[in-house]
Structure 1
């Protein structure tokens, strides 16, 4: 067999988006991983938060991470991605804050932003994104972030944002974020 022509297709988003997902119940994380991969996420971080109902021990977490890697590999193949998103080990919010220092843009959808008249719109962040930036979004579990967690995130450079006037489920929010960023860059042709 002989290579006739190398294809230089790039099916990746022009920004690198990591989804830190508060641990949800059931198979919701599987959905986030599969659909998030299809929508262009670069990496996923399972996140332990105060309101997370789910608690994983080390042995259970290792087994789940292996299954998650299989999910993103298959979703990458199906959606013709050039790369397979990374799955990091489960971390705490404090560990995420430390990791967040290496990102250009950090934000978290916060349901309290949907309830106030003056709010930080997600669209403002999306419009300011530039190709090549590293983006970290932190998604709360069912029940959202506690007030203390939200304050900790804010103090460490994470911007609270509103994702429209409705409160989204934990598995819907990251897909909304990814689809919005994809639309801005890939369909509107921005930056």
Structure 2
């Protein structure tokens, strides 16, 4: 069944409507007809099952059959901070990270960032990144569309670490020393258990193709981050966040057990 994210204003007490590209897709591409159903999500975790009543040019109106809370979100809110990689690698991180359950993404520039950042192209790229997150969230049956923030500096990222309950910085040297992500997560869970009922917020920081400069890791640690390894192998920058998200999902009970 087709799923679409809509603004809260599009959802009424007993009706919902699609417009623009979503309406065109459902009518022209999926060839929907009155009486057929689709799911609309308001982006805040609430979704409705709706039955199409009318199809007009650029607009589809539907009656709400059922209203429910999405159960597809991780219990931990994980923000993936990814040092800007070359080519379309960030698109992969956003698409697959959304499928894996990330709540938001924060691209940033670090000392060894390889790509040449062009601020003039930022708005266009940001629009594309957000579209990728929306489409991936629909495909994965998410209840929210992960936020994709504008590219920030390393200094700005470090300054914002205090907003999170846990900040993890992935560093290959810790992997070689055997300081793994699992140990850090287990320690955090033991401490955070005292704040029962609160969904923890986690900042997961992944470096560029060339890795972090040691001084950057020191700066992150001074701001409260925990440096962790993702095993004894060296991962590509676009792989690291996905491996870490899977580990967090497992350790937080997302996968059962």
Matched, 1:154 2:221: yes
Q: Alpha-carbon deviations, 1:128-150, whole Å to 9, x = none?
A: 34660000011000010011111
Q: Which of the residues 22, 28, 35 maps onto 2:96?
A: 35
The structure whose residues are more often strand, as a share, is 2
What is the aligned residue count?
187
Computing the radius of gyration from Cα coordinates, the structure with the larger value is 2
Q: State the TM-score, normalized to the length of structure 1.
A: 0.92
Q: State the TM-score, normalized to the length of structure 2.
A: 0.69
Paired position in structure 2 for 1:121: 180
Matched, 1:53 2:109: no
Q: Is the 8 A contact 2:176 2:231 kept in 1?
A: no
Runs of 4+ in 1 over 4 A off after TM superposition: none
Unaligned ranges ≥5, structure 1? none
Q: Which moved more, 1:92-101 or 1:130-139?
A: 130-139
RMSD: 1.5
- Distance of 1:170 and 1:35 partners within structure 2: 13
Matched, 1:76 2:144: no
Paired position in structure 1 for 2:75: 14
Query: 1 or 2 for the larger relative contact order (CA 8 Å, sep ≥6)?
Result: 1
Paired position in structure 2 for 1:188: 256
Q: Is the 8 A contact 2:184 2:226 kept in 1?
A: no
Paired position in structure 1 for 2:60: none
Paired position in structure 2 for 1:98: 159
Paired position in structure 1 for 2:44: none
Unaligned ranges ≥5, structure 2? 1-50, 52-62, 193-197
Q: Which moved more, 1:49-58 or 1:81-90?
A: 49-58
The alignment partner of 1:167 has SS state of coil
